[in-house]
Amino acid sequence: GAGVSQSPSNKVTEKGKDVELRCDPISGHTALYWYRQRLGQGLEFLIYFQGNSAPDKSGLPSDRFSAERTGESVSTLTIQRTQQEDSAVYLCASSRLREGYTFGSGTRLTVV
């Protein structure tokens, strides 16, 4: 597509439930990134996919967080047993290697 698409744009969930966030990157972009942004804060790196290489999961805050990517296509970020501290905007970006990132508009997650 023309840009990075994320869905849903907003998600409200009850504490303890699992959520799945989806990212459709730009076609041809081999790299895909997930970041988390808490209110008024900067972007916190979560996970990075590059082609068929093993993902860089060094930013995932706990084992409740996981992500998958199908080839060089869609990625899903899953948060299990959500906690209130997981409330944030989750941003996905894609790029060609060593080029600037194109970000989606994010998914605003609210855990109540």
CA distance 12 to 3: 25
Q: Does 71 bind another protein (CB under 8 A)?
A: no
Tell me the C-alpha distance between 73 and 81, whole Å.
26
Helices and strands of the chain, counted as H and E runs: 0, 10
Sole binder of another protein in the list 7, 13, 20, 43 (CB under 8 A): 43
Q: Do 92 and 25 touch, CB atoms closer than 8 A? A: yes
A 10 A CB-CB count for 68 gives: 13
CB distance 44 to 35 below 8 Å: yes
Q: Of 21, 60, 77, 91, which one interacts with another protein (CB under 8 A)? A: 91
By CB under 8 A, is residue 45 in contact with another protein? Answer: yes
Tokens describing residue 83: 């906690």
- Establish if 30 lies at the interface with another protein (CB under 8 A): no
Q: Which of 4, 23, 60, 109 binds another protein (CB under 8 A)?
A: 4
Q: Is 67 in the site for another protein (CB under 8 A)?
A: no
Least gap, CB of 87 to another protein (angstroms): 16
Residues that bind another protein (CB under 8 A): 4, 33, 35, 41-43, 45, 48, 50, 56, 59, 91, 93, 97-98, 100-106
